[in-house]
Amino acid sequence: MRGGVGGRFAFEYTLVFPISLLMLTLFDSNAWWKVFLFALAAAAVNTAAAPKMSALLRPTGIAFGRGVVDAVLAFLFGLTPFFSYYLGYSARFYSALGFDGSHT
């Protein structure tokens, strides 16, 4: 994907926030604003990791890697009392993020 860092961040955020809102609000009972903060962090991590993942992985691997990174980040957020995350939903969560068709 071409564009600056701001464009890449906006792209990542528009992918992460709706799926995160669905999974982390509906299944884990987090408030929408907590999911908003998580999505900002996840988009920042994905934006920073995108050049490295693009150099190392094929498009399918990039999508899977993005999902795994977001699931691990959600797990780390869940270790705090601020955020509710259950490990049982991680496979569903990173599967949804990994197969969102965004492997450009």
Convert the pLDDT of each residue in 14-24 to its tens digit. 888 888 888 78
- Flag whether 44 is in a domain: yes
Dist CA 70 CA 20 (whole Å) = 9
Number of structural domains in the chain: 1
- Flag whether 103 is in a domain: no
57 half-sphere exposure, CB direction, 13 A CA radius: 16
> What residue numbers bound the domain in which 84 lies?
5-98
What's the pTM? 0.73
Convert the pLDDT of each residue in 15-60 to its tens digit. 888 888 887 887 778 888 998 998 899 889 888 887 787 778 777 7
First to last CA, the chain: 6
Q: Do 29 and 84 touch, CB atoms closer than 8 A?
A: yes
Q: Do 66 and 98 touch, CB atoms closer than 8 A?
A: yes
Dist CA 87 CA 72 (whole Å) = 10
- Flag whether 104 is in a domain: no
Dist CA 101 CA 103 (whole Å) = 6
